[in-house]
Amino acid sequence: MPERILVIEDEQALRETLSYNLEKEGYAVQAVGDGHVALEAARAKKPDLIVLDLMLPGLDGFEITRILRRESNIPILMLTARDEEIDRVLGLEMGADDYMTKPFSMREFMARVKATLRRVRLMREESGSLEDEPKKVLEFEDLVIDTTRHEVLLSEDVIPLKPREYDLLLFLARHKGQVMSRSLILERVWGWDFDGGTRTVDVHVRWLRSKLEEDASKPTRIVTVRGAGYRFDG
């Protein structure tokens, strides 16, 4: 079946242009222009990707992202006419997977769509390759990763992780003891080498450490291998 994309954009001309180009590439597209309708469509259709405009009637893109992130990990590519850094940061912090500022080229838009969907496919394949030992819960002493509930517990307390932090931790944990290069982590977890480049990995590792390693006297769980990348030691 073709991958399903939900386009949420209130500008009719742009909505039709995006839909046309996505359908031309073989995707199954549903397009809506209202925030409330969009939220219901996302819940009902469970698309493989959501292309989400920031400024919408009804609910805005921030609010839709906030609500959806409590319910699912559907990838979100956020669009906005505003070029304020705070908007980009807030969108990504709330759980958007990528961010584009209008106007943008259709070539770049399609490249980002394909990269995001490729990342999702790689993550699914990664999960599928582990079906010989289908662990729904990964345990590392006092650290527990529940892949069914998308929860991480430390000493039985739930640790609030953003979607990308969770994806990064899960990827490293599933390859415990193996050194993962920054470029491989970017490919498997982000799927798109955007402006932050490998610095993006370093920043997210730092955030993870701050949440998972409260006791500075204990060895670090995520080890930096100089010149190579990172290794998860549990």
Based on the fold, state whether residues 165 and 73 are members of the same structural domain. Answer: no
- Which residues are CB-neighbours of 167 under 8 A, at least 6 positions away? 73, 123, 189
Greater pLDDT, 194 or 154: 154
The single-letter code of the amino acid at 230 is: Y
For residue 172, give Cα distances in angstroms to 65, 176, 178, 213.
26, 6, 8, 15
Based on the fold, state whether residues 106 and 142 are members of the same structural domain. Answer: no
The pair of three-digit structure tokens given for residue 19, joined into one six-digit string: 């839909």
Domain count, the chain: 2
Whether 195 has a pLDDT exceeding 80, the answer reads: no
Based on the fold, state whether residues 101 and 147 are members of the same structural domain. Answer: no
Whether 194 has a pLDDT exceeding 50, the answer reads: no
Strand partners, 143: 140, 154
For residue 189, give Cα distances in angstroms to 117, 121, 122, 229.
11, 11, 9, 14
Based on the fold, state whether residues 150 and 115 are members of the same structural domain. Answer: no
Based on the fold, state whether residues 40 and 149 are members of the same structural domain. Answer: no
Domain boundary among 65, 95, 127: 127
Domain boundary among 92, 107, 127: 127
Based on the fold, state whether residues 119 and 102 are members of the same structural domain. Answer: yes
Q: What is the pLDDT of residue 120?
A: 77
Q: What is the pLDDT of residue 183?
A: 83
Based on the fold, state whether residues 147 and 104 are members of the same structural domain. Answer: no
Based on the fold, state whether residues 8 and 100 are members of the same structural domain. Answer: yes
Based on the fold, state whether residues 169 and 75 are members of the same structural domain. Answer: no
Based on the fold, state whether residues 46 and 161 are members of the same structural domain. Answer: no
Q: What is the pLDDT of residue 109?
A: 94
**CATH number, domain containing residue 148:** 1.10.10.10
Determine the structural domain holding residue 102 and report its residue range: 4-127
Strand partners, 8: 32, 52
The CA distance from 198 to 220, in Å, is: 21
Q: Mean of the pLDDT values across residues 144-149?
A: 86
The CA distance from 200 to 196, in Å, is: 5
Greater pLDDT, 93 or 160: 160
Cα angle at 68 between 152 and 153, to 5 degrees?
5
pTM listed for this prediction: 0.60
Q: What is the pLDDT of residue 28?
A: 96
Whether 51 has a pLDDT exceeding 70, the answer reads: yes
Domain boundary among 127, 151, 178: 127
Based on the fold, state whether residues 69 and 119 are members of the same structural domain. Answer: yes
Helical ranges in 61-197 per DSSP H = 61-71, 85-94, 106-128, 163-173, 182-185
**CATH number, domain containing residue 96:** 3.40.50.2300
φ, ψ for residue 222, nearest 5 deg: -110, 105
Q: What is the pLDDT of residue 213?
A: 81
pLDDT in tens, 115-137: 888 877 776 666 554 444 445 78
Q: What is the pLDDT of residue 30?
A: 96
Based on the fold, state whether residues 121 and 17 are members of the same structural domain. Answer: yes
Whether 199 has a pLDDT exceeding 90, the answer reads: no
Q: What is the pLDDT of residue 36?
A: 93
